[in-house]
Amino acid sequence: MAQPVKFNNAYFEQLSRSPGVVRITVEAAQRIAATARATAPSDTQAYRNGIRVRVKYQRRAVALVEGRDKKTMLIESKTGNLARALRANARGRR
């Protein structure tokens, strides 16, 4: 029977907060945000201009693509723009 694998969680937490990993994460989020801005519906430009990237630290660095316009939830429910931008930038995950 195979031996159970024990991961060094402290090492992986440190690795996931390293500058190189944070940079790669932010770059991926910036590509998604750029796609979302390019395909965004543009009545007033407020939704498009409100799409931004934010980094959040939990156990690891997480880059979020978020909409800051007050109508973001309404627009997303009708168009799915951010979800489509995410799928368009997925690499080998289909």
- Domain coordinates of the chain in residue numbers? 9-88
Q: How far apart are CA 17 and CA 9, in angstroms?
A: 12
**8 A C-beta contact, residue 53 and residue 63:** yes
How far is CA 11 from each of CA 6, 8, 27, 60, rounded to the nearest angstrom? 12, 5, 23, 11
Question: Quick one: pLDDT band at residue 75, thresholds 50, 70, 90?
Answer: very high
pTM for the full predicted model: 0.83
13-23: pLDDT as tens digits? 899 999 999 99
* pLDDT score of 27: 96
